[in-house]
Amino acid sequence: MEPFTRHTGVAAPLLKANIDTDAIIPSREMRRVSRHGLAEGLFANWRYADAGARRPDPTFLLNQPAYAGASILLGGANFGCGSSREHAVWALAEFGMRVVVAPSFGAIFQKNCIANGLLPAVVAEGEVNALARWVESDPARHRLTVDLVETTIHAGTEKTPFAIAEAHRFRLIEGLDPIRYTLERADEIAEFEGERFAAHPWVRLPEGA
């Protein structure tokens, strides 16, 4: 996974609360047994006037030239709530998003972001709105810089701090492979498991049950 330290890009404000993962990518857009090929389905219900024909809806923000190449999304509270589908994060990342800034996130979505190098930055609603106003006044030039080392968002000369769990920050900065990281503790896991099975034999199911 690509380590994340600092990113500058065009930011697109989609400030509706409770933007769910069905909105981020509808189920019918998840067409292949793959983490790839999903960007086209991103926000399909909003982005296309006719999703089947892929005819864009010019009123949708990400279709507007001023937001071309947007890589930072500003969202409302409880962003990414709903279905656990990691496809929502895969689609955002493949589309080119590196950061989502919102007052709060759906818990599973937030962890899926970390697993895929997408930064979920928590910023209070009033401050997200302030960032959005600044961006909207000149989207192409008013780019945001998100610094994960300092945990701040730079909007021109203004700095807005954001929150992220230390464990998540660490994983993003290191670009860790989580399975490899955990398997370094294989012995500890086996020992815990052995004790658990010994104390509660019913927990263990026979293989091929």
Partner 1 sequence: MPRTLFDKLWDSHRIASDESGEDLLYVDRVCLHERTGGIALESLEARGLPVRQPGQAFCTMDHVVDTRPGRGDRTSIPGGEAFIARTRRGARAFGIRTFDIGDAEQGISHVVSAEQGIALPGLSLVCPDSHTCTLGALGALALGVGTTEAEHALATSTLWLARPASRAVVVDGVLDSGASAKDLALHLIAEHGADGAEGAAVEFRGSAVRALDVESRMTLCNMAVEFAAATALIAPDAKVFDYVMGRAHAPPELPLDDWRRLRSDDGARFERTIRIDAAAVDARVTWGTSPAQGAGVTGRVPAPRDGDAQRALDYAGLSPGDLLSEVAVDAAFIGSCTNARLSDLRSAAAVLRNRRVAPGVAAICVPASTPVKRAAEAEGLDRIFREAGFEWRESGCSLCFYAGGEGFAPGQRVISTTNRNFEGRQGPGVRSHLASPAVVAASAIRGRISTPGML
> 3, 27, 158, 159: which one contacts partner 1 (CB under 8 A)?
27
| Nearer Cβ to partner 1 (158/188) | 188
CA 133 to chain centre: 22
Q: Which CA distances in Å does 146 have to 72, 114, 118? A: 9, 15, 12
**DSSP letters along 115-175, please?**
HTT-EEEE--HHHHHHHHHHHHTSTTT--EEEETTTTEEEETTEEEE-B--HHHHHHHHHT
Is 61 among the residues that bind partner 1 (CB under 8 A)?
no
Instruction: Report DSSP state, residue 25.
Output: S
Task: Name the segment binding partner 1 (CB under 8 A); options: 92-100, 106-114, 141-149, 154-162.
Answer: 106-114
CA 65 to chain centre: 23
Instruction: Report DSSP state, residue 54.
Output: T
Is 198 among the residues that bind partner 1 (CB under 8 A)?
no
Is 185 among the residues that bind partner 1 (CB under 8 A)?
yes
Q: Please provide the size of the chain in residues.
A: 209
Is 167 among the residues that bind partner 1 (CB under 8 A)?
yes
The single residue listed with the structure tokens 């069905």 is 22
| Nearer Cβ to partner 1 (126/206) | 206
Least distance from C-beta 161 to partner 1, angstroms? Answer: 18
Is 107 among the residues that bind partner 1 (CB under 8 A)?
yes
Is 77 among the residues that bind partner 1 (CB under 8 A)?
yes
CA 37 to chain centre: 17
Is 35 among the residues that bind partner 1 (CB under 8 A)?
yes
Which residue ranges make up the site for partner 1 (CB under 8 A)?
A: 16-18, 20, 22-23, 26-28, 30-35, 45, 51, 76-78, 81-86, 89, 104, 106-108, 111-112, 115-116, 165-167, 169-170, 178-179, 182-183, 185-186, 188-189, 192-193, 196, 200, 202-209
